[in-house]
Structure 1
């Protein structure tokens, strides 16, 4: 069942013939910032395909759908613009950027260059039982993929990779890698959104990687990690 972002207490809700954009239920701590709520909702809408590449959306129109003022929508859209997910269109609003096949390949290459060496350093030094800490996060990606919930999968996937890289203790690596990860999750203008089978195949790679790391099979771990990003 679709859920919708609720207006903050006391905020006016403008009447509209269009229903609000669907937002999946979240099991995260309550957000105290309207801007943060709107940003999360917009990211879900991007991942779920409710905001289409090439389309232009105005802040007032989105604000009406979400039942908030235009200010937090503009602020959230500016954040998405800084991440490359949208482009500012003067006097009109924001165009959903939609990366190309080349963009996707380049982002995958950069992510692999950062994350694979980090994973292999951990594989050589981390006690095998530490990898079990990531099992619930890997399972969460499988659950979201099985449901075909692209927005839930996008967040679960980020949580898994973020937790993995946090094991390095390198905060800058975590920040940079997550920014790249968000960029890679932007909708592609040249291909359809991933289906359940594609999401599930990606999710199962997390568990396979943890299995290889748990048994300290460095050759398999490196191959799995590399293929997870580049597909080769």
Structure 2
């Protein structure tokens, strides 16, 4: 006589496992992780779905386009007041309009361009007044920080920044404003990073980038002599910081900003 079990309705029947349960047991034996909730992508009750990451390739393309647009902006290839469409720029860079549009939106947030509905993006027109205002704000932020650093940072820490200062001289000698702009900002970021305030570095770098944009009616390219003279101020600044010559530091930084460096 077969041994039976009592089901929930009180009737007796064969002690057999339902087919679905048997299948689950087999799957569990083959892969124990299959029994865990949320494994293999199934969504359990009350558990938020796992967001899908953005494609790395697309982000990389957008970043490359953004760098190329910034270079073109500093080099004067994107002229103040002119409107540029994403499809046309996409053809220029050999990409679709989407990463160009995304990069341009970032430049709009930074204040370099403004959106023109149904047309594209207009490069912002700036004059000498806007440049002077940027120089004033930069001086208000950076001069006190550099004076404090001059009092506290040992000479060997400043000596470690000499290669960056020398790199700005080499970049200036090439005569390319975009190349010099990158090395110039790298030097200033390294100096300010010694203060240990990342927010300060980010804000100062944003102001510095804005100061490098071309002016309305200004030269398409900065003269090599101007770039070389500007780069020489980095070396002089390092020497003043090593010597803890506060008056020289104050004067050099103020002159540097006035020159829109």
The structural deviation recorded for 1:32 is 6.5
What is residue 216 of structure 2 aligned with on the other side?
189
For 1:214-225, what aligned pairs fall within 5 Å after superposition?
214-225=242-253
Aligned length: 201
1:87 aligns with 2:114: yes
1:99 aligns with 2:119: no
Gaps of 5+ in 2: 1-57
What is residue 190 of structure 2 aligned with on the other side?
163
**Helix, strand or coil for the counterpart of 1:145?**
helix
TM-score of the superposition, structure 1-length normalised? 0.84
The structural deviation recorded for 1:98 is 3.1
The structural deviation recorded for 1:213 is 0.8
CA pair 32-60 structure 1, distance change in 2 beyond 3 A: closer
Deviations 1:92-133 (A, max 9, x none): 101111311100000000001101111000000000111111
**Helix, strand or coil for the counterpart of 2:121?**
strand
The structural deviation recorded for 1:175 is 0.9
What is residue 123 of structure 1 aligned with on the other side?
150
What is residue 137 of structure 2 aligned with on the other side?
110
TM-score of the superposition, structure 2-length normalised? 0.75
Higher relative contact order (CA 8 A, sep 6+): 1
Q: In structure 2, how many angstroms separate the alpha carbons of the residues matched to 1:109 and 1:224? A: 14
Instruction: Give the number of the structure whose alpha-carbon radius of gyration is greater.
Output: 2
Match 2:176 to one of 143, 149, 152: 149
Q: In structure 2, how many angstroms separate the alpha carbons of the residues matched to 1:110 and 1:194? A: 23
Q: In structure 2, how many angstroms separate the alpha carbons of the residues matched to 1:187 and 1:225? A: 21
Q: In structure 2, how many angstroms separate the alpha carbons of the residues matched to 1:178 and 1:184? A: 10
Match 1:208 to one of 216, 236, 241: 236
The structural deviation recorded for 1:230 is 2.3
Worse-superposed segment, 56-65 or 216-225: 216-225
Structure 1's consecutive aligned runs of 4 or more residues displaced over 4 angstroms after TM superposition are none
Q: In structure 2, how many angstroms separate the alpha carbons of the residues matched to 1:118 and 1:91? A: 45
What is residue 34 of structure 1 aligned with on the other side?
61
Q: State the Cα RMSD in Å.
A: 1.3
Q: In structure 2, how many angstroms separate the alpha carbons of the residues matched to 1:59 and 1:65? A: 10
What is residue 174 of structure 1 aligned with on the other side?
201
What is residue 255 of structure 2 aligned with on the other side?
227
CA contact (8 A) 1:98 1:186 kept: no
